[in-house]
Structure 1
Amino acid sequence: MIDNLAAQPPGADHRSPAYIPGVPRDTAWRAHWIGPHTPDHGPGPAGFGPPDTRGPFGRYLFRTTFTLDAVPEVIPARITADSRYVVHLNGREAGRGPVRSQPRRLAYDTLDLAPLARAGENTLVVLVTYYGKANSFWQPAAANGALGRDAVLVLEADLGDRLLVTDDTWRVLAPGAWHSAEAEGMDGIPVECLDARLLPSDWKSGAPDSDWQKARIVPALHLGSLARSTPPADPYGPLRPRPIGPLGGDTVTPVRIAVSPPAAVPDDPHPVGHVRTYLSTPDLPDPVATSLPLTLTPGTGRAQHVVVDMGRIVCGFVRFDLTAPSGTQVDLMYRETPHAPGANDPFSAPNTGARYIARGHDDGFEACEVNGFRYLHALVTSDGPVTIDAVAVREHLYPRAGAAYFRSSDPELDALYTAGVRTVALTSHDAFVDCPTREQRAWVGDAVVHQMVQLATSTDWRPAWHYLDLANSPRPDGILPMSVVGEIEQGGGTTIPDWSLHWLHGVHNLYRHGGEHERDRLAELAPTARRILAWYLPFRTDDGVLSDLPEWNLVDWSSVFTTGTSSIVTALWARGLREYAEISTLLRNDGEASWARRHWERARKGYEIFWDERRGTYVDHLLSGVQQPPASQIAGAAAIASGLAPAARHHRIIDRIMDPGRLVTRSWIGGEGGYDAEKIHDEMRGVRRIDWDSEEQVVRAQPFLSYLVHDAAALTGRVPELVGALRRWSRFLHDGYDTFGECWGWGTPAHGWSSTPARDLMTYVLGVTPAEPGFGRARVAPAYGVVERAEGAVPTRDGLLHVAFDSSGVEVDSPVPLTLLLPGGQERSYGSGHTRVPFV
């Protein structure tokens, strides 16, 4: 059981359960895939093309027991399931997973069971969820005759004198206590419903009874499978070790609780619909503040409403304890923002929640699904008194590692840094996700901002590289899905092509921060980068720029134009060409580097058609060869960041696109009042109305692609304007919210793609960037004069680089050699260690 150990990767946390001593890393498992007793669908003709049928949503309990004479120091185990598992040893949670992954690249987790084991008999119970239908973070396998059609589990553990494996000695219970209500609107998060009357109160400890059945070994069934039931087996392939560390977080309790008097409420089979029906009742009384424990007396045919305010956006597992008669129904709806009476906007509120039906004794609910929200609305229906004893959320997020920090003499900038870090924390689950509340999807473009914040603020870079591997799942034509692992990737339909170009920028971040140390990973990712760039070639004009691009060329939620001949997408593509050329050079693939540079040079020459000399910037697009008036902030910034704009023009461009007097905020689907249904309808019909002076005004980038605008300002040496622009993010921080929202004035209040201020303060105010790939040398260019004083520590591959500066001098403590920029523009080289430069 302890042979074939793989070496621990550089920079991994030795304390992480992702790396348990003694867990095998070989591909072949001794354990069998096991499942509940569901009907076999059987293979198709000659074992090919079985009908694509699979089981519905279900939660199953798998149980075994084992005896220990004494508890070993370590009980190494590895485990995975389709779709999700939670493992309990002797009634206590030992782990959960796996991380989201494409079915043919399914991950497994490693655990140490020793801390929960005891001498004598031990009971292991695993709750396995099978979603049945794709959702925002899971997609079903391409099943064969047996595997991939229903819940399956595989586990093996080294007990010292013997091996514990999943096989047909295990028992399984299908209690039927859980079901999943359909997710609504744009949400893809399961809405879980639990009838505790159907679930033994001691289910975590797995007390046996007559309902437990013998588990079934589930083999692969197709020609050539030879009925193999141990991994690797189709459709899951070689199971892969967990690529990131464990999730966790604090248990958070409410800051305010209020209750309304009982009222008659029409029933609704959907828990969120039931709460929403109550909240849409005219002339509702305002809830009255109260505290826990709270006793409710809704009465027959009536319901009582409780609203819980967590004080900020939180994300994790909702928990509550209650004392209630059997059959009491508690419906939950999670909201990001306060409910507005009469409002029912599916675009601006998550349609997520849960339902719990009490068994009448030993009651308490802990969600299996991760949800994000600030306000919890509970609607309690019962014939008798109900006491809610406790409410909490156990957060389940990726932990930030190390002692990176930013502090300054400017409290506003310090608050922006903290908010950016918190926003990325809330959107770092088992992958970088857009938001913790509404979708939790792994959008391929959004996550490049999370990645850059992670690199700048945490010493654990594994999530930054996992983002690249997870999203490396191209369609047959080479472009990436707009969101990976879920119903969007499974559907294989329309994508956002430019999201693939942001992923390529993420690969370039790997090149800049990892260099030769990440050579093998870069070599694995480079073919996908090449296919993305080649996808655009058929859309080039004779001038070498891009025109008439299909699918959803989103770019940003701001009102930019990509129709006709597009300067913006051309520039993003050209940036990718330059970055791919640099990566290819490091990989010593000179032919590929030359290919990319040729296409970049051709685009550079053709790009002149977008230049507007009068305004000193580039327009968004041309129609039928004619320049159109709109000239957005993104168009000018992309020209600089891609290198297509001559350096002599950079200051003129920044003057134009960062002039506060010219900037206007516009979006094709929303505005300061929220999502705009009329605008969305117009956008679907191809109707766009310009309601600004497109000759003189400049459309501001939304928070997402502001990262590109800030890159352009920094490349031009205009850090003061960059820092001035950062202050706009302060508008998100009000009324207890401490995260950055999706868009200017609307959207989710915690959206990872808006977190660029945290990166900018580290890279452009402290000024720490790689001077050469792999951080073999750092460049430190502090923003002297922009703030009176600033200090911080920025991660490099070799440790934290500390910077402090004020009007008296600059001080650097670096683990690597560095080039230091001084106030007059002079650059000096220093070795690693401590450097102090006083200003005279």
Structure 2
Amino acid sequence: MPIELLDARELDPGWREPDFDDSAWVPATVLKAGHNGALAESRPPVDPYGAMLPRGIGTLGGARVVAPSAVVRSAPAVADLPDHPAERLIRQLRVGEAGRVAQLPLTVDLSPDAATLLTVNFGRIVAGHVELDVDAPPGVRLDLLYQESADYDAVAGPVASAPRSSASYVTRGFADRYRAVDLNGLRQLFLLIPPGTGEVTVREIAVNEYHYPFTGGAEFHSSDPELDRLYRAGIRTTELNSFDAFTDCPTREQRAWVGDGVVHQMVHLVANEDWRLARNYVTLGASPRADGMLPMSVVGEIEYSGGYTIPDWALHWIHGVWNQFRHDGDRAATLRLLPVAERVLRWYEPYIDDRGTLSDLPEWNLIDWASVFSSGRSSLSTGLWARGLAEYAEMAEWLGNTASAAWALGLWERARTGYEDFWDPDRGSYVDHILDGVRMPALSQAAGAVAIVSGLAPRERWAGIVDVITDASRLVVRSWIGGEDGGYDMDKIVEQSQGIYRIDWDVDQEIVLAEPFFSYVVHDAVAAAGEADRLPGLLRRWSVFLHDGFDTFGECWGWGTPVHAWSATPTKDLIWYVLGVTPDEPGYGAVRVAPRPGAVQRVAGAVPTPHGLVRVEVDNGQVRVDSPVPVRFVPPSGKESTAPAGHSEFVL
């Protein structure tokens, strides 16, 4: 991992003061355009960079979290420590003695023969700028190591998926207040004070959180504390991955994955009155390669280097464009993005087989971290592509582009015909793939879900498919790359890279459960099939993440990072399907209210729209709505009714 090194002796602490003497500093260089025809001009804000665009998003910030105490231990000095701060700390931790808890501030008497180690546990994941305030002699090197979990064995080294994010600060001897430039996500922090003479006082260790704020009056609460906790955990997980872009996790990568961000976007749309970062997600993702396909990750080294991608991630991005169109009804933005969406959909055309489905797709067809099959003729890729075609057609029709809509619907209709080949009538759902004309037996939750959300499965099958893919007695958790130790299983990864898929479940009877990311598609399918009252029960699986102080959702079932926003679908599901609030027209020209609380006695919430908050309360079957736009109420019976803007009441 990149590390931050600061020798404070090289930086005068007064450099930000208005009267600071910077006459000895190297003067700034005025940059000039150097291409042909530029005439070596510097014309801000045009040359050498081009027009400066509006920022378009809000100001980041957050609470300052101060560590009240630390575990202090002594360790015999280790000779010839490496220069990397993480390695230095791990070497010293291996010989550390038992520790004691001490309150901060804390004074340490330096010894020429021993180092001092401080361990701080913030009790939850925090993300932002690490801060360290100390009093120390000049030239003392202080090393920091950050960990996302206190369960990792720092001596043996963290699991393969965990980073060794770290930093090093050399004291100047006065005004030693270190403020990290890098953003880091962490739960636990180690501080190494080296052997020496004199004393070091650690006045404060803190993290100044820095992420995109959730603002406004959006809320959800119910008579079920577990559901309330899941709603808040989804927001916290998303908040910790909302910077100037949506990231996968703050602790390991901080990459803006094009597919992951669709879940972040949906959480913002239901729980944040500021939708600017949600719009920014689709804007940043609209960065196609020369062949029209999107990079798997944007505004980072993966996009810069080019190369292979995850094609289905671009199909989730199209769903994000559709989400934004439904929620804000911005015609200009939709018009700008549709050509990018069309090129993504057209990228698949060479791989359409004679049955209208997708076969033998190149590159990394990930679909999900679960053990699903996407080789050969793929029901999974075909279903996601068909969902994209249908959503593209809806947006094109809305904009009056009937020719493009007809093109997309024509491909969708061909896919619908051939998709029947994936149907397994004996088990009542769709298999993952077909090889050499033979329908293979593997049947995943994901395959049944995409059959519904794409509309390729006949509607009369939907409820039965949901029965099958939510049957707990048949569901198994399997991943091609996940290990039971909480990290990646390197043996599995090597096998998969060699084309070896080790099946350790009964493919004829058992169904592979979707991992948390693809569960958003599964839950959309459950709701589309008229079974949304099952969701309060299905969402409880996410409580497995909320233990030992963690208030965020992890990456996968049993492994991965502990704060991964692609897992935050419970927050979206509680609003869209349990409380039942979704746009009835693009831009929330009207609101659809279709509560499905199941056995939960009372649910209530406030949902952001461009026109203000829609407030809904369901109590023992009585529904009260306060809305700034007209309401279409949809009870389970299907007997709809409407009401004008304002206050209205219905019976569920």
Looking at structure 2, the residues matched to 544 and 234 of structure 1 have their Cα atoms a distance apart, in angstroms, of 49
Give the secondary-structure state (helix, strand or coil) at the position aligned to 2:608.
strand
- The answer to whether 1:601 aligns with 2:413 is yes
Q: What residue identity is the alignment partner of 2:451?
A: A
- The answer to whether 1:221 aligns with 2:27 is no
Q: How does 1:725-764 map to 2 (within 5 A)?
A: 725-764=538-577
Contact 1:255 1:311 in 2 (8 A): no
- The answer to whether 1:639 aligns with 2:447 is no
Looking at structure 2, the residues matched to 439 and 270 of structure 1 have their Cα atoms a distance apart, in angstroms, of 19
Q: What residue identity is the alignment partner of 1:833?
A: G
- The answer to whether 1:424 aligns with 2:230 is no
Give the secondary-structure state (helix, strand or coil) at the position aligned to 2:369.
coil
* Offset of residue 784 of structure 1: 4.3
Looking at structure 1, the residues matched to 156 and 74 of structure 2 have their Cα atoms a distance apart, in angstroms, of 21
* Offset of residue 256 of structure 1: 4.2
Looking at structure 2, the residues matched to 346 and 252 of structure 1 have their Cα atoms a distance apart, in angstroms, of 26
* Offset of residue 686 of structure 1: 1.5
Contact 1:658 1:721 in 2 (8 A): no
Contact 1:671 1:744 in 2 (8 A): no
Pick from 399, 404, 409: which aligns with 1:592? 404
Tell me the alpha carbon deviations over residues 76-100 of structure 1, each in whole angstroms, 9 at most, x when there is no partner: xxxxxxxxxxxxxxxxxxxxxxxxx
Q: CA distance change for structure 1 residues 677 and 213 in 2, over 3 Å: closer, same or farther?
A: closer
Cross-structure match for 1:445: 259
Tell me the alpha carbon deviations over residues 735-754 of structure 1, each in whole angstroms, 9 at most, x when there is no partner: 11000001111111111100
Contact 1:794 1:802 in 2 (8 A): yes
% identical aligned pairs: 53
Q: What residue identity is the alignment partner of 1:826?
A: K
Q: What residue identity is the alignment partner of 1:419?
A: A
Looking at structure 2, the residues matched to 666 and 344 of structure 1 have their Cα atoms a distance apart, in angstroms, of 26
Tell me the alpha carbon deviations over residues 466-517 of structure 1, each in whole angstroms, 9 at most, x when there is no partner: 10111111011100000001110110011101000000000111221122xx
Cross-structure match for 1:509: 323
Looking at structure 2, the residues matched to 690 and 727 of structure 1 have their Cα atoms a distance apart, in angstroms, of 28
Tell me the alpha carbon deviations over residues 223-246 of structure 1, each in whole angstroms, 9 at most, x when there is no partner: 111112123446632111101000
The alignment yields a C-alpha RMSD, in angstroms, of 1.4
Shift >6 Å, 4+ stretches: none
Contact 1:672 1:744 in 2 (8 A): no
Q: What residue identity is the alignment partner of 1:714?
A: A
Contact 1:315 1:396 in 2 (8 A): yes
Contact 1:398 1:425 in 2 (8 A): yes
The farther-off stretch of 593-602 and 288-297 is 288-297
Looking at structure 2, the residues matched to 213 and 799 of structure 1 have their Cα atoms a distance apart, in angstroms, of 52
Pick from 362, 372, 391: which aligns with 1:560? 372
- The answer to whether 1:434 aligns with 2:248 is yes
Cross-structure match for 1:175: none
* Offset of residue 298 of structure 1: 4.1
Cross-structure match for 2:119: 307
Q: What residue identity is the alignment partner of 2:493?
A: I
- The answer to whether 1:199 aligns with 2:29 is no
* Offset of residue 782 of structure 1: 0.8
* Offset of residue 391 of structure 1: 1.0
Looking at structure 2, the residues matched to 572 and 287 of structure 1 have their Cα atoms a distance apart, in angstroms, of 53
- The answer to whether 1:661 aligns with 2:479 is no
Cross-structure match for 2:594: 781
Looking at structure 2, the residues matched to 545 and 687 of structure 1 have their Cα atoms a distance apart, in angstroms, of 25
Contact 1:544 1:603 in 2 (8 A): yes
Q: What residue identity is the alignment partner of 2:99?
A: P
Looking at structure 2, the residues matched to 514 and 717 of structure 1 have their Cα atoms a distance apart, in angstroms, of 26
Cross-structure match for 1:259: 72
Contact 1:479 1:535 in 2 (8 A): yes
* Offset of residue 263 of structure 1: 2.2
Tell me the alpha carbon deviations over residues 419-443 of structure 1, each in whole angstroms, 9 at most, x when there is no partner: 0010111000011111111111110
Cross-structure match for 1:807: 620
Tell me the alpha carbon deviations over residues 29-53 of structure 1, each in whole angstroms, 9 at most, x when there is no partner: xxxxxxxxxxxxxxxxxxxxxxxxx
Contact 2:536 2:598 in 1 (8 A): no
Q: What residue identity is the alignment partner of 1:819?
A: R
* Offset of residue 301 of structure 1: 5.3
Looking at structure 2, the residues matched to 464 and 209 of structure 1 have their Cα atoms a distance apart, in angstroms, of 42
Pick from 168, 171, 174: which aligns with 1:358? 171
- Could you state the TM-score of these two structures normalised by the residue count of structure 2? 0.97
Looking at structure 2, the residues matched to 218 and 316 of structure 1 have their Cα atoms a distance apart, in angstroms, of 32
- The answer to whether 1:826 aligns with 2:622 is no
Cross-structure match for 1:343: 156
Looking at structure 1, the residues matched to 603 and 158 of structure 2 have their Cα atoms a distance apart, in angstroms, of 43
* Offset of residue 268 of structure 1: 1.4
Looking at structure 1, the residues matched to 423 and 367 of structure 2 have their Cα atoms a distance apart, in angstroms, of 20
Looking at structure 2, the residues matched to 614 and 313 of structure 1 have their Cα atoms a distance apart, in angstroms, of 46
* Offset of residue 651 of structure 1: 1.4
Looking at structure 2, the residues matched to 209 and 445 of structure 1 have their Cα atoms a distance apart, in angstroms, of 46
Q: How does 1:101-112 map to 2 (within 5 A)?
A: none
* Offset of residue 693 of structure 1: 0.5
Greater helix proportion: 2
Cross-structure match for 1:711: 524
- The answer to whether 1:270 aligns with 2:84 is yes
Looking at structure 1, the residues matched to 424 and 86 of structure 2 have their Cα atoms a distance apart, in angstroms, of 52
Contact 2:533 2:597 in 1 (8 A): no
Q: What residue identity is the alignment partner of 1:365?
A: Y
Looking at structure 2, the residues matched to 684 and 543 of structure 1 have their Cα atoms a distance apart, in angstroms, of 29
| Alignment size in residue pairs | 647
Contact 1:329 1:382 in 2 (8 A): no
Cross-structure match for 1:573: 385
Contact 2:74 2:114 in 1 (8 A): no
Looking at structure 2, the residues matched to 766 and 210 of structure 1 have their Cα atoms a distance apart, in angstroms, of 63
Contact 1:275 1:331 in 2 (8 A): yes
Cross-structure match for 1:237: 50
Q: Which runs of 5+ in 1 are unaligned?
A: 1-182, 184-189
Q: CA distance change for structure 1 residues 388 and 774 in 2, over 3 Å: closer, same or farther?
A: same
Q: Which runs of 5+ in 2 are unaligned?
A: none
Q: CA distance change for structure 1 residues 619 and 201 in 2, over 3 Å: closer, same or farther?
A: same
Q: What residue identity is the alignment partner of 2:314?
A: S
- Could you state the TM-score of these two structures normalised by the residue count of structure 1? 0.76
Contact 2:533 2:578 in 1 (8 A): no
* Offset of residue 683 of structure 1: 1.4
Q: How does 1:168-187 map to 2 (within 5 A)?
A: 183=1
Greater strand proportion: 1
The farther-off stretch of 739-748 and 800-809 is 800-809
Contact 1:641 1:715 in 2 (8 A): yes
* Offset of residue 278 of structure 1: 2.3
Higher relative contact order (CA 8 A, sep 6+): 2
Q: CA distance change for structure 1 residues 382 and 239 in 2, over 3 Å: closer, same or farther?
A: farther
Pick from 312, 315, 318: which aligns with 2:130? 318
Q: What residue identity is the alignment partner of 2:406?
A: S
Looking at structure 1, the residues matched to 154 and 87 of structure 2 have their Cα atoms a distance apart, in angstroms, of 15
* Offset of residue 637 of structure 1: 0.2
Looking at structure 2, the residues matched to 728 and 511 of structure 1 have their Cα atoms a distance apart, in angstroms, of 31
Q: What residue identity is the alignment partner of 1:608?
A: E
- The answer to whether 1:211 aligns with 2:24 is yes
Tell me the alpha carbon deviations over residues 595-649 of structure 1, each in whole angstroms, 9 at most, x when there is no partner: 0000000000010110000000000001111111100000000000000000111
Give the secondary-structure state (helix, strand or coil) at the position aligned to 1:546.
coil
Looking at structure 1, the residues matched to 86 and 535 of structure 2 have their Cα atoms a distance apart, in angstroms, of 43
Cross-structure match for 1:499: 313
Cross-structure match for 1:582: 394
Looking at structure 2, the residues matched to 672 and 582 of structure 1 have their Cα atoms a distance apart, in angstroms, of 43
* Offset of residue 210 of structure 1: 4.7
Pick from 599, 602, 606: which aligns with 1:793? 606
Q: CA distance change for structure 1 residues 287 and 684 in 2, over 3 Å: closer, same or farther?
A: farther
Give the secondary-structure state (helix, strand or coil) at the position aligned to 1:262.
strand
Q: CA distance change for structure 1 residues 836 and 645 in 2, over 3 Å: closer, same or farther?
A: same
